[in-house]
Structure 1
Amino acid sequence: MAQFDPRRQPMRIAPHALTAVAAISVALLAGRVYQPAKAEEAPPLTQVQIAALEAQAFAAGGMPAGLTTPEAVPVQIRKGETFEQAVRRTGIAPEEASAVAATLSNAMDVSSMRAGQKFETAIAKPRGGRGDARLIGLTMRTGPASQLTVSRSFDGALRLRALEEKVTHETVVLKGKVEGSLSRTARREGAPAGVARQAGRLFSHKFDMDRDIKSDDQFTYVFDRTVTENGRTIGSGDLLYAELKGVVFYRFKAEGAKEAQYFDATGKNTRSAFMRTPLERGFRVSSSFGFRRHPIAGYRKMHQGIDFAAGMGTPVVAPADGVVVEARRWGGYGNWLRIRHPNGLESGYGHLSRYAPGVRAGQRVRQGQIVAYVGSTGASTGPHLHYEIWRGGQRINPAGVRTQEGTVLAGSDLAAFRAEKARIDRIIASGGERRAQQAAMSGGLRPAQG
C-alpha cells in the first residue's frame, strides 16, 4: 500500500478535461477521428421562388395585431384620377398612400400613369371594422415579363423591388384532332388567336370550312412563342407551317419580297386569287344558291347567293384584294357591303351588324382582312351572312367560282425555300425547339417609412 507523503501535491483533473477525454475515447472506439460537422448547401432558389418567399415573409411580418389577413384588391386608375388617389380607394390612410407613391416613384414616374393602368394590392383591414386599412403589398406589371412590387418589411418600412422573369423562346409543334370547329379546337390545344386565325384563312383557300372539315381530322401547326418561367405566354410569332387533310403550307419570304407568303412542299404559292368562303370559323351553310321557299315571303323565289348561319359578331373577311364600292343601308339587305376585285368579280355581303373600322367606299382591302361582322339587319330571321358574287353585273353561284392560283418558285428563291422547308421539317421531327434567355433580376432596396 502506498504511503501518504504530505510533501507531495495531490493530482487534480478538471471536469472539462474529463469531458474532452470522454469525447475522444468515444471517437476512437467508433474507429474514427473526430471531425467538425459541415452544413450541406441548400439548392439555389429561382428568382420567382425568392420573390414568393419574400412576399410571404413581408406579409406575415407586416400585419400588426388587430388586422385581418391581407386580401387581394385589384385597382384600376380611373379617368381624372392620380395613382395616389387610386391607392386611397383601397381604404388606407392618406399619409400611407403618399408613402406608397413616394416609394414607387423611385423606379417610375407615377405622375405619368394614365386611366386604365391596373395593379394589385394586398390590404389588411381592422378587425373591428373601424379605422384605416393597412397596405401589405402592391404589384404593378411594367412589361410582359417584368413587374415592380412594394412590400412591407418586418419593421413596417416599405420595400421596393423590381423583378424580371426568365423567358424562353420556343418553336412549338402543335398536333390535334378537330372537335367541333378547327379554330376552337386549335385554341383549346394552345394555339394563340392570331395563329389559329391565320391557319383558318389559309385553309379557306382549299376547303369549304363548313362542309369539308370533319371531326377527327388531324392538323399540325408550327409557330413561335415566348413564355415566362411560370408558363405564361407573353408573345407569339407567325405561323410557320400548317397541315390539314394532306394540305400543307410553309411560310417563306423571298429575297426582296415585301411580305412572307405560304407555299406547298414543291414551292408553289398556295394562295388562290379567291377564298372559298368569307368566314373563317363558326358557321354552316343554311341556304344555297338557287330556288327556295323564302323564309319570310313564304313562296318559291330565286336565292341569288349563299346564306351562312353564324353567331352575331362573327368576323367577315374579304375573299380577295379589292376596293370597297358600297358600305351602306340597302333595303331588305340591311347593312350592305360590296367590294370590287381586280379579276372582274364583285362580292356582296348583307344583314351585317356593323363594318370594320375604316371600311367605307373607296377603301382598299386585302385578302383575309376583316371588313365587317355578321348580324341580322334588314329582312332577316336571325344572325347570318348573305353572300353574293357578281360577274359583269350579274349574280353567279359563289360555290362555282374558280380562279388561278399562285406561281411556282424558281432559281435562288426555290433553293432558299427548300432550305427553310428542311429547317421546319427538322423542327417537326424533333417535336419542337427551345431557346432560353436569362432575364435580368434587379432588387432596388429603397425603404420609406409608412
Structure 2
Amino acid sequence: MPRFDVSEDVPNGPAPPSPEPAQSGSVAARSQVDETSPAISGRAHAWFWLAIGCAIVGVVQVPLVLVAHRGAAPPTAVAAAPAPPIASAASAIATPAASALPPEPATAPRLAQLEGDAIEVLHTKVGKRTCVQALEALGVAPGDLARVSTARSPLRKLDGCSPNDRVFVALGRADRRLRGLEIETAPGTLVQVLEKQVAGEAGASLELVAEAVTLPVTHKRFTTSFVVTTDVPSAVVAAGLDGSIVELLDEAIGSRHDVPAPVRGSTFRVIADATLVAGLFDRWDEVVAFEYRPRADLAPVRLYHTRGKPGALGWFDPKGHQPVRTRWRMPLAFPRITSRFNPRRLHPVLKVVMPHNGCDFAAAPGTPVYAIGPGVVQFRGDSGPSGNLVTIGHEGGIESGYAHLSRFAPGVVAGTHVEARTVVGYVGTTGRSTGPHLHLSVKRNGVFVDPLSLKMDAFRVVPPSERSGFSARKAEADALLDAIPWPADLPVVAAPAAASASAEPAGEEGDEPLH
C-alpha cells in the first residue's frame, strides 16, 4: 500500500486543471491533485478492447470460470436488449472528473460505465461470505446465477472467492435481469462477464461472455479540505472521500484525550493516497496526514500516519508522539498540571512544609471530573480539608481520590460501579482550597503514590531508527498541507462556556503541560 513516497508509473501524463471550490451536501469542499494523471499504453488499449471486440463477434463463446450455483434452476429465455457497450478506455480517461477528487469508488472504465436510466450497478466486498452469497445479497436471482455458470472456464470459480475480493453486478432497473458481472481479485485484475449477442447455428442470441481482464494500475496523491456542517461522515462523503476515511479520522482523533471531537464548524485539510485503474479512481488506500481545527478559537492539530517498523505504526503528532491505550485515563479533558506529587511541598494555605499527596489540575469551575479507571465508589461526601470527595477502589490495590468538587455527578454513591472516563463530579473549590481546581490522589495498598506513576494516557515516541524517515515524510506532508486552502465560508462556532472560562488554580507551583 502506498505511503508518503508514492510514484507514478507514467510521470508525463497530462496535467489536470486546477479545481474550483465546490459546495456539496453538508460540506464546503476544495480538492486538488498534486500529481499528473497517469495514461494507458497503446498496447494495453489494443489488448483489452480488441479482446472484447473479438468476444462480441466470435461464434464460439469464451469459456468462463464460474461454477453453477447448487440447486439453481436452469436459465430461462427472456427477451431483453443487450447491455450498452462499455466506453473505450481512452474516452473514459479524458473525462474531466479525473482531475478532481472522485465522488465514489468503482468508476474505472468497466462495468460501472453501464450505470444509467435502465441499468443499476451495485458492488460489495465478499468478506466472510461465499461469492454466491455476496451475489445474492446484491440481488442476483438464482436463474441468473445459473446463466453465469453456462460460461464456465478455468479462469475463476464462484466458490473460490477471497474475503477481499470485490464483486460488481449490473442489473436491469425494471426486470432486475443480470446484464454484467465482475469479480475483482486485486486492483486491475478481474474477471468480467458481459451479456452480449453471440452468433450460433440457430442465429444470434444473448449470452454471458467472460474473460480475464488486466488493467494498468497507478497510484496518486490527492488533497482536499472540508468543513463539517452536519456530521463528519456526510462531510467526508460530500468532499469526495468515503467511509473508510471516516474510520481513519475517527481512529486518529478518538485516540487523543486532548483533542475534542468534531462539531459543526470543525474543518479538515486532508492528504490521501488512492489507487487508479486504467487511469481512473478505483479505491482509497490511506490517509497520509491531516490537519484538524476543532473550532475557530482553537489551534489546528496535525497528525501523520506511518507504516514503519513496530513502534512506528499508526498516527503520530508533529513531535513524534503516539497515545498508548492503557488501563488508566486522565481525570480531565485538556489536563494542565499546576502542582505535582511532592512529599516536602510548602502548603499554599498553611505555609508549612507538608506532603502534597497528589496532583493538582487547573480547571474552570464546573468542569467534569472523570474516573481514571474502572472500579467501585467507596466514599462520596464531605471530607473536611478535601471538601467534597469521591474515592474509588480499583483492582490491584489501587485507590483514587477526587477532592474539592463543587458537586457530585448524579447516581455516584458508595457501591456504584464506574468505568474509566465516567463523570464522578465537577471541579470546585470546597474544603481547604485557594481556588477552583481538582486534587487527584492515588494510593497503592494504602500508601500514597504519585498519580502520574500510573502512566495515564501515556504515549510512545517514534523509535530512533525511524526518526529520520518520519521527519522527511512529515516535512513532505507539511508542505502539502500548507498548500491546501481552508474551505470558504467557515461557520463561526462559539466555544462552550466551561471551556472558555478561566480560573486561577490553587497551590500553583508552575504552569506546565502534561507532556
Q: TM-score, normalised by structure 1?
A: 0.43
Q: TM-score, normalised by structure 2?
A: 0.38
Q: Report the structure number with the largest CA radius of gyration.
A: 1
